Structure 1
Amino acid sequence: MHGDDTSGVDTGDRSPTARDRLGDGRPQNGRPRDILGRPLPHGSVGVPRVPDDLQLPPHESLPLAQRYLDDGMPFHAHDVLEGTWKATNGDDRELWQGLAQLAVGLTHLMRGNAAGAVTLITRGRDRLTPYGAAPPHGVDVVGLVGWADTVLAALDRGSVEVPAPPRLAST
């Protein structure tokens, strides 16, 4: 499930303007990635990637994303949560988008991009807030909003210390 299979990706032309493409012609970055999702030079050894087409149900998505967060891999957690968001219709769609935004906001913070972290963590918090009264799937909305507020307050004070990862689900 976490391999770097690039089957179907054309990676033959390495000219500066060449792009990796999926079999249907859509762009696909086949370059290896570091632990925070940054592209590495072709031929480098990166960490295994989350498959682009991964779409898990909530009861599988939350624990996998939490493992990635706990392992210091919020970019990967974002990919897992984004897959669930994109596969979700209806009332829970904003919830999954908010969770994905919190994870990518943490990614920005770990990469040293405080402005990007503020933007994405704020967006994620704002998407989660309406679910506070009755959160679906055991998502700890109150805890996540509190985590986001704490991180945003620290960033506002000029602190760029990376916080402990948030807990996605109530235990």
Structure 2
Amino acid sequence: MTQVIPDEFWQGVAQFNSGDYYTCHDTLEALWMDATEPQKTFYQGILQIAVGLYHLSNRNWRGAVILLGEGTNRLGYYQPDYAEINVEKLIAESRELLTALQVSGPENVGEFAQSIKNTGTYSVNNSTLQVPKIEKVTAE
């Protein structure tokens, strides 16, 4: 059965990808509250990643780490893709960021937040990584 994904979801995706994580959370939370499974947990996973990124922007290391972890765990069921979204890539990018935050510790959260705000990237072991984005599945 094909799942019908509402226009508001795509609005939330655009908000997420533009770095407007707080608004994305509001948009997806409204959908999540009224959704049934399997969409309910899917929306929740994405909105938790958005809130994790919002916490990171506010230099809240603990909140960022907890919500990035919870969001990626919730989305595991939907791999490799769901609702035209490349879930596998979103999870991988989110987990890379989560691991980098955990390794660097709370004392370096400001550097992550500033780099992400300025460039949309962060550095780990002389590599520059992109902040997680939600991408549509590409046809092969």
Q: 2:41 aligns with which of 89, 94, 103?
A: 94
Q: Is the 8 A contact 1:62 1:168 kept in 2?
A: no
What secondary structure does 1:157 align onto?
helix
Matched, 1:167 2:109: no
Structure that is richer in strand per residue: 2
Q: Which residue is equivalent to 1:108?
A: 55
Unaligned runs of 5+ in 2: 122-130
State the one-letter code of the partner of 1:156: Q
Between structures 1 and 2, the one with greater helix share: 2
Seen in structure 2, the aligned counterparts of structure 1 residues 110 and 103 have a Cα distance that, compared at 3 Å, is same
Runs of 4+ in structure 1 displaced over 2 angstroms?
A: 69-72, 162-165, 168-171
The amino acid that maps onto 2:20 is: M
Residue of structure 1 equivalent to 2:32: 85
Over 3 Å counting, the alpha-carbon distance change for 1:73 and 1:154 in structure 2 is: same
TM-score when scaled to structure 2? 0.72
The Cα of 1:169 is off from its aligned counterpart by 3.1
Over aligned residue pairs, what C-alpha RMSD do you find? 1.9
1:82 CA displacement: 1.1
Residue type at the aligned position of 2:47: A
Distance 2:35 2:53 in 1: 23
Q: Which residue among 12, 21, 30 is the counterpart of 1:65?
A: 12
Cα distance, 1:81 vs. partner? Answer: 1.2
TM-score by length of 1: 0.60
**What's the offset of the Cα at 1:165?**
4.2
Give the Å deviation of 1:91: 2.0
Measure, in 1, the Cα distance between the counterparts of 2:39 and 2:5. 10
- Equivalent pairs counted in the alignment come to 114
Q: State whether structure 2 residue 77 is matched by structure 1 residue 126.
A: no
Q: How many Å apart are 1:66 and its aligned residue?
A: 2.4
With a CA cutoff of 8 Å and minimum separation of 6, indicate the structure with the bigger relative contact order: 2
- Tell me which of 83, 88, 99 is aligned to 1:137: 83
Aligned-residue identity in percent:
28
Distance 1:82 1:168, change over 3 A: farther
Superposed CA deviations along residues 9-45 of structure 1, whole A, max 9, x for unmatched, are: xxxxxxxxxxxxxxxxxxxxxxxxxxxxxxxxxxxxx
Query: 1:146 Cα deviation (Å)?
Result: 0.4
